[in-house]
Amino acid sequence: MDRIRIVGGNALNGIIPISGAKNAALPLMIASLLTSDTLTLENVPHLADVEGLIRILGNHGVDIAVNGRREHQDGSYSRTVHFTCRTVADTTAPYELVSKMRASFWVIGPLLAREGQARVSLPGGCAIGTRPVDLFIEGLTALGAEMEIDGGYINAKAPKGGLIGARYTFPKVSVGATHVMLMAASLARGTTVIGNAAREPEVVDLANCLNAMGAKISGAGTSTITIEGVTSLSGARHRVLPDRIETGTYAMAVAMTGGDVTLSGTDITLLDTAIEAIRRAGAEVSAVDGGIRVIGHGDAIRPVDIVTEPFPGFPTDLQAQFMGLMTRAHGVSHVTETIFENRFMHVQELARLGAKITLSGQTARIEGVTRLRGAPVMATDLRASVSLVIAGLAAEGETMVSRVYHLDRGFERLEEKLTRCGAIVERISD
């Protein structure tokens, strides 16, 4: 099993290219099930989750080619991937595939809309909370679907003639459920109005792609989205938006270590709240042509309190990274997690590096320390694992991060990008 070795103490200087967003690419890939034409996606990141979803879509009959060739032949940045589902080969998404990645559960929407039926295993994914599927079931039921849970699977069936447009308000904001409703309602008869919809940029990206395919969606990016159903969707060409979580992660790494880095190929407006928190912590962050410039001051980190919230609030996917940054702040900061109940598993690992963190319910109190010291640590989930990398970059001596398969799910060529900016980071394969 691979590990990542980090020798801390080096400032970061140079350019880090930001990849396409994993959280946008996954629903966009799933949208290929909605049409028999080819959906071409540009700027698709090379990640374990993307490769896993490629296998899942292949099970449903989607033919996949990368840059005009078959999959897995090109590992470069900004891949272009072509998805073609002439016919749906199988409407069942089996446990052995869905259990490995929660987002694969989202195929239930397109399968139900296009084929009128779906049998999808209850999902798996990171162990950061229960994340029930109730909102998915309630939303699709509002469109007329019959939903039954049996033997760990959801058996879904659309009414004769297909799904029917409806008004539905989510009792709680859910990005995944909003994605599924957008895809399902695009082929429903009549108009669907979604209330309390997720406002994340990734939702807007999916809506833009669906509209390019012939859907009629308005209001994406607000809490109310309207979808006028159409009888069919065509192919399209769409570029995956930049990864705002990767952007924020590297910005925090520079704030932690010091240095001057340009994050290229990204957009500062995708994460206003997180950028403001990084600035309050003492780093200089500014928009430049084609990206973002971050200047960190290392030993001059200021304490900042944050609360995770749905977009446009502070992203839960940056909470662990920001906590890593706060371990070196001059003073006490507080991080409150409101989205997932088990997303503090990185605390005990940060403590191994010398961090002083105490937990009270869903709030962590971080007392900044003058120095961190390298140690063996273990990743517990995707975002927690990269918080350990950030802390290791600023720690004295060597930090060895194990279980880095979590990192491979969401960060493309992390060691290469950091090494090019002066960090000592290497992957060790046992």
Residue 352 pLDDT: 97
**Helix, strand or coil, per DSSP, at residue 214:** coil
In 2-89 the beta strands, taken as DSSP E runs, fall at: 3-7, 12-17, 38-44, 63-66, 69-70, 79-84
pTM recorded for the entire structure: 0.94
Structural domains of the chain, ranges and CATH numbers in brackets: 3-18+243-428 (3.65.10.10), 22-231 (3.65.10.10)
Instruction: Report how far Cα 121 is from the mean position of its chain's Cα atoms.
Output: 21
Instruction: Give how far Cα 300 sits from Cα of 280, 296, 355, 368, 386, Å.
Output: 11, 9, 17, 11, 22
Q: Are 5 and 430 in contact (CB under 8 A)?
A: no
The region, left, alpha or beta by phi > 0 then psi within -120 to 50, assigned to residue 83 is: beta
The residue annotated as part of the active site, out of 85, 126, 209, 421, is 126
Residue 382 pLDDT: 72
The candidate with the shortest Cα–Cα distance to 399, out of 388, 410, 415, is: 388
CA 38 – CA 29 distance, rounded (Å): 11
Which residues are annotated as part of the binding site?
22-23, 102, 131-135, 172-175, 317, 339
Q: Is 85 a catalytic residue?
A: no
Which residues are annotated as part of the binding site for UDP-N-acetyl-alpha-D-glucosamine?
102, 131-135, 172-175, 317, 339
Amino acid identity of residue 74, one-letter, is: D
| Bridging pattern class, strands 332-336 and 216-218 | unpaired
Per-residue pLDDT tens, the chain, 430 aa: give them. 789 999 999 999 999 999 999 999 999 999 999 999 999 999 999 999 999 999 999 999 999 999 744 444 434 467 999 999 999 999 999 988 888 788 889 999 999 999 999 999 987 544 434 446 889 999 999 999 999 989 889 999 999 999 999 999 999 999 999 999 999 999 999 999 999 999 999 999 999 999 999 999 999 999 999 999 999 999 999 999 999 999 999 999 999 999 999 999 999 999 999 999 999 999 999 999 999 999 999 889 999 999 999 999 999 999 999 999 999 999 999 999 998 776 788 999 999 999 999 999 999 999 999 999 999 999 887 777 899 999 999 999 999 999 888 888 889 999 999 999 999 999 998 7
Q: Where are the alpha helices (DSSP H) in 175-225?
A: 175-186, 201-212
